Amino acid sequence: MTKPKMAVIGSGSWGFNHIRTFYALPDCELVGVSDLVEKNLERVKAQFPEIKIEKDYQKFVENSDVEAVVVATSAETHFQIAKDALLAGKHCFVEKPITLDIGEAKELVDLAKEKNLTLMVGHLLLYHSAIEYLKKLVDEKTIGDVLYIYSQRVNLGKVRSNENALWSFAPHDISIMLHLINSKPVKVSATGQTFLQKRKQIYDVVFFTIYFENGVIATGQVSWLDPHKIRKFTIVGSKKMVTFDDMEIREKIRIYDKGVDASNVTYDSFAESLILHDGDIKIPKINLSEPLRKEAKHFIDCISKQQKPLSDGQNGLDVLKILVAAQKSLENHGKPEKIQGI
Ligand SMILES: NC(=O)c1ccc[n+]([C@@H]2O[C@H](COP(=O)([O-])OP(=O)(O)OC[C@H]3O[C@@H](n4cnc5c(N)ncnc54)[C@H](O)[C@@H]3O)[C@@H](O)[C@H]2O)c1
């Protein structure tokens, strides 16, 4: 079987990671890179001289040798580039968020389906070994039923002028929340504030809460204006509690044998009949592998085996629906918004 030939469109700070990763992957052949900025293309040429570089991405979209493209441009350009690629019969990996508009994302999902092409979205953390481990813990009910989840993704980091902290960071947290909570998200509320780019209404910090049909809530804090660098998930279950701290080098997951048991509950002495248990903390050994490489390999595998990606276009659309509702809530000072059709 021949290796699929690929092109990466967008070689900015994140796109370059895709170039490095797909180039090193033995299952495909990275033949081209496109970017509008000459300096970015020169950087690619200097490191990977055999890769063809073009300012105009259409050169790769129109090239019948190219089977798949990676779209790692800024979010507002994802739709047009991915649409052109799918129309030309290319499998397509699109960075998160899939698009900025629900109708446009739906169009991409339908187009991929109609043309029998792979459409995958860059929800990178779904390919993190620690998240795979958490998923197993949740599905096997090791921690009991999930009661609530909260996440923090904060940093003093890259301040964007074309999207706010919600759109920049929360796709990761939302994709994990949808992955772990086996229920339909129904409502979202979000509050936040603009400090650095008030005129453009770019929110630097956002707090959001997603309400699920089964009563689980998942809340997230995202910010690029924070003294700490935190990338942490906490899951409180009915039997145990677990944290995933991505800033830890090795001990990323901790399972706390902590909880509250309700036994022999009678109506008037409910509080007294609750028994706290506070046991050991387990730190499981997790074989960590680079999520970006796993994500890239999954894309290639899905193309060659004609399988549905874990983060397929529909998953990108679901995350987008929550982002859109959260943005609306943000602009309405936290008024909860219904999430349509997930
Ligand atoms: N999965 C992750 O963890 C992760 C992390 C960071 C960024 N991202 C996503 O990756 C995408 C890119 O982010 P970034 O930080 O690299 O942004 P960036 O601004 O550094 O790079 C974007 C690049 O796209 C190029 N570009 C724009 N329009 C183009 C076009 N029509 N043809 C060719 N090139 C074009 C720009 O010249 C620029 O170099 C965004 O969607 C972002 O949300 C994902």
Describe the strand order of the beta sheet including 68-71 as a list of residue ranges: 52-54, 29-34, 5-9, 68-71, 91-94, 119-121
At residue 214, does pLDDT exceed 90? yes
CA of 160 to the centre of ligand 1 (A): 11
Q: What is the pTM of this model?
A: 0.95
Q: Would the pLDDT of 188 be above 80?
A: yes
**For range 54-60, the mean pLDDT:** 98
Q: What is the pLDDT of residue 267?
A: 56
Report the pocket of ligand 1 as residue ranges, CB < 6 Å.
9-15, 34-37, 40, 57, 72-75, 77, 95-96, 122, 124
Helix H or strand E segment including 167: helix 165-180
Helix (H, G, I), strand (E, B) or coil at 256: strand
Q: Cα(116)–Cα(312) distance, rounded to whole angstroms?
A: 13
From ligand 1's centre to the CA of 95, what distance in Å?
8
pLDDT, position 157: 83
List the domains of the chain with CATH numbers.
5-123+291-310 (3.40.50.720), 126-289+322-338 (3.30.360.10)
The yes-or-no verdict on residue 45 having pLDDT over 60 is: yes
Mean pLDDT along residues 118-124: 98
> Which of 9, 14, 44, 172 maximizes ligand 1 atoms within 8 Å of its Cβ, making it the mutation to test the pocket?
14
162 pLDDT more than 90: no
Neighbouring-strand partners of residue 192: 206
The CA 136 to ligand 1 mean position distance, Å, reads 32
Which pLDDT belongs to residue 341? 85
pLDDT at 263: 62
Q: Is the pLDDT of residue 262 over 70?
A: no
What is the pLDDT, as a whole number, of residue 270?
A: 61
Expressed in angstroms and rounded, the spacing between residue 260 Cα and the centre of ligand 1 is: 46
State both tokens at 147.
């009661």
Share of the chain above pLDDT 70, in %: 96
Question: Higher model confidence: residue 198 or residue 143?
Answer: 143
Provide the β-strand partners of residue 282.
255
